[in-house]
């Protein structure tokens, strides 16, 4: 028999994250949706509590947060233990992260994205940084700035430049749609060392908040995830120490874009898990509402004997299961050092689509109750859409999967 349950050792973590989501995120969910750009100060207390658990070792195996990502130091410890043969675990930090993020997003996606020290830039640091940088940037809260006014999906075309000047890099350019761009204390910025040398010259740089020349220009108003700030940031002769370039400064045209893109192999399963969590929230509430309305959801009955609502609900759950399993698979592969680019994109494509389809499907099934602000179904339908857009849109994920399956390069299949 195949066991499709979450591994036993993660069940306390899943339970703990679910409690946090239910008791700390859900009660403030609507408030910060309505109060866009208001800082969810309750998260400071949550982050401090999680740091305390982490310091005392009680959050072991649960990630830095006990509910989300591990710190860079925790990940390094895992890697060292694995190298020395003392680790042996094959269900590691990536799997722990996706499982806990699912639960937190069952609570609220926008608030999860606003959690101090859990930014997408933190994942970039863990993916690309060297040992010294992992140590130095341990505990920071880092946003991730790739997108520019004329560069979205085709991130190889970025125009922000980083020019070496003595022991520093000087960054110039404009970044838009930076999640946590205002609140995070560091931003990981993608910039090119030399436009002529194409994708291989794109590197990421850690820029601490308050560095002269870095300015948050505006915050966006959005359809969903309104608890999360999304900023436009301008860099004008912004100087950072040369050692803030993540990874190697060499321009390796053979490796091409692979270095920078490695970040996505870690972040796409995380975004997929956000969609899985949000869709699960919608399914759970819809089940309650349908049951209250007298709809019998009987898994053992043949489909023809079910009501249309029950049959639709079960079909949505089956779709959800596919997204859930692909997400676990892509994270498990990352934990086991298996190349997972294709699976990360498959998980992101499936979960991104399922997230939108299910949350909207639940609004539809519940009718006016689904559409009303009395419950959170309408909010989840708005929140989930972004998960099919950022970290690579649905179409881009499908393109990546098609290239891998067909063995074609990005030049051959655009
Ligand atoms: C709320 C929010 C938060 C964000 N957070 C961040 C962040 O933290 N950091 C960051 O760097 N960026 C962030 N982004 C930006 C996001 O990653 C981009 O919006 C996304 O990559 C798409 O880029 P684009 O909007 O320029 O769309 P485009 O690239 O212009 O695409 C428009 C449409 O064309 C499709 N398309 C494009 N190319 C192809 C192709 N080759 N084949 C088929 N279809 C194609 C796309 O799928 C899409 O449907 C965020 C965006 C939003 C809205």
Which ligand 1 atom sits nearest the alpha carbon of residue 390? 17
Q: State pTM to two decimals.
A: 0.92
Domain ranges of the chain: 8-136, 142-244, 258-406
Atom 13, ligand 1: which residue's CA is nearest? 177
- pLDDT beyond 60 at 81: no
Q: pLDDT at residue 102 above 60?
A: yes
CATH of domain 8-136: 1.10.540
Active site residues: 391
| pLDDT tens digits, 182-230 | 999 999 999 999 999 888 899 999 999 999 999 999 999 999 999 999 9
The pLDDT assigned to 7 comes to: 84
Check if 398 has its Cβ closer than 6 Å to any atom of ligand 1. no
In tens, the pLDDT along 14-49 reads: 999 999 999 999 999 999 999 999 999 999 999 888
Q: Measuring from atom 41 of ligand 1, which residue has the nearest CA?
A: 414
**Average pLDDT estimate for 107-133:** 92
pLDDT confidence of residue 84: 52
Task: Tell me how far the alpha carbon of residue 345 lies from the centroid of ligand 1, in angstroms.
Answer: 15
57 has pLDDT over 60: no
- Mean pLDDT, residues 102-125: 94
- The CATH number that domain 258-406 falls under is 1.20.140.10
pLDDT reported for residue 20? 95
With helix as H, strand as E and coil as C, how does the chain read? Answer: CCCCCCCHHHHHHHHHHHHHHHHHHHHHHHHHHHCCCCCCCHHHHHHHHHHHHHHCCCCCCCCCCCCCCCCHHHHHHHHHHHHCCCCCCCCCHHHHHHHHHHHHHHHCHHHHHCCCCCCHHHHHHHHHCCHHHHHHCCCCCEEEECCECCECCCHHHCCCEEEEECCEEEEEEEEEEEECCCCCCEEEEEEECCHHHHHHHEEEEEEECCCCCEEEEEECCCCCCCCCCEEEEEEEEEEEEHHHECCCCCCCCCCCCHHHHHHHHHHHHHHHHHHHHHHHHHHHHHHHHHHHCCCCCCCCCCHHHCCHHHHHHHHHHHHHHHHHHHHHHHHHHHHCCCCCHHHHHHHHHHHHHHHHHHHHHHHHHHHHHHHCCCCCHHHHHHHHHHHHCCCCCHHHHHHHHHHHHHCCCCCCCC
Residue 48 alpha carbon to ligand 1 centre in Å? 33
Q: Is the pLDDT of residue 128 over 80?
A: yes
Q: What is the pLDDT of residue 82?
A: 52
Tell the CATH topology of 142-244: Butyryl-CoA Dehydrogenase, subunit A; domain 2 (2.40.110)
Q: Tell me how far the alpha carbon of residue 389 lies from the centroid of ligand 1, in angstroms.
A: 6
Q: Is the pLDDT of residue 131 over 80?
A: yes
For residue 222, which atom of ligand 1 is closest to its CA?
Answer: 1
């Amino acid at each position: 028999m195949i066991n499709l349950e979450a591994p036993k050792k993660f069940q306390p973590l899943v339970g703990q994250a679910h409690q946090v989501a239910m008791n700390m995120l859900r009660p403030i969910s609507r408030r910060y949706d309505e109060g866009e750009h208001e800082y969810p100060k309750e998260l400071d207390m949550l982050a401090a509590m999680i740091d305390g658990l982490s310091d005392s070792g009680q959050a072991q195996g649960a990630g830095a947060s006990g509910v989300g990502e591990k710190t860079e130091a925790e990940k390094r410890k895992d890697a060292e233990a694995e190298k020395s043969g003392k680790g042996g675990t094959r269900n590691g930090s990536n799997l722990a992260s996706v499982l806990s993020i699912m639960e937190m997003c069952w609570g609220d996606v926008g608030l999860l994205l606003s959690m101090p020290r859990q930014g997408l830039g933190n994942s970039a640091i863990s993916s690309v940084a060297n040992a010294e940088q992992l140590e130095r940037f341990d505990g920071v809260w880092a946003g991730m700035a790739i997108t520019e006014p004329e560069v979205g999906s085709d991130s190889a075309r970025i125009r922000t430049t980083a020019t070496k000047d003595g022991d520093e890099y000087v960054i110039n350019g404009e970044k838009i749609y930076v999640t946590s761009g205002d609140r995070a204390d560091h931003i990981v910025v993608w910039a090119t060392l030399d436009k002529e040398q194409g994708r291989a010259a794109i590197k990421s740089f850690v820029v601490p908040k308050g560095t002269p020349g870095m300015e948050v220009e505006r915050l966006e108003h959005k359809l969903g995830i309104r608890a999360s700030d999304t900023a436009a940031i301008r860099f004008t002769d912004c100087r950072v120490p040369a050692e803030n370039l993540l990874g190697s400064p060499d321009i390796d045209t053979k490796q091409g874009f692979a270095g920078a893109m490695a970040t996505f192999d870690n972040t796409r399963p995380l975004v997929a898990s956000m969609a899985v969590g949000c869709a699960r929230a919608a399914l759970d509430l819809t089940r309650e509402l349908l049951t209250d309305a007298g709809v019998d959801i009987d898994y053992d009955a043949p489909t023809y004997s079910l009501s249309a609502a029950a049959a639709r609900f079960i079909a949505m759950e089956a779709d959800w299961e596919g997204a859930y399993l692909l997400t676990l698979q892509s994270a498990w592969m990352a934990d086991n050092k298996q190349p997972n680019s294709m699976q990360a994109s498959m998980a992101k494509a499936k979960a991104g689509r399922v997230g939108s389809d299910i949350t909207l499907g639940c609004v539809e099934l519940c009718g006016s109750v689904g559409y009303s602000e009395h419950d959170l179904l309408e909010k989840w339908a708005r929140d989930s859409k972004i998960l099919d857009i950022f970290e690579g849109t649905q179409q881009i994920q499908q393109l990546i999967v098609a290239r891998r399956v067909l063995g074609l390069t990005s030049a051959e299949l655009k």
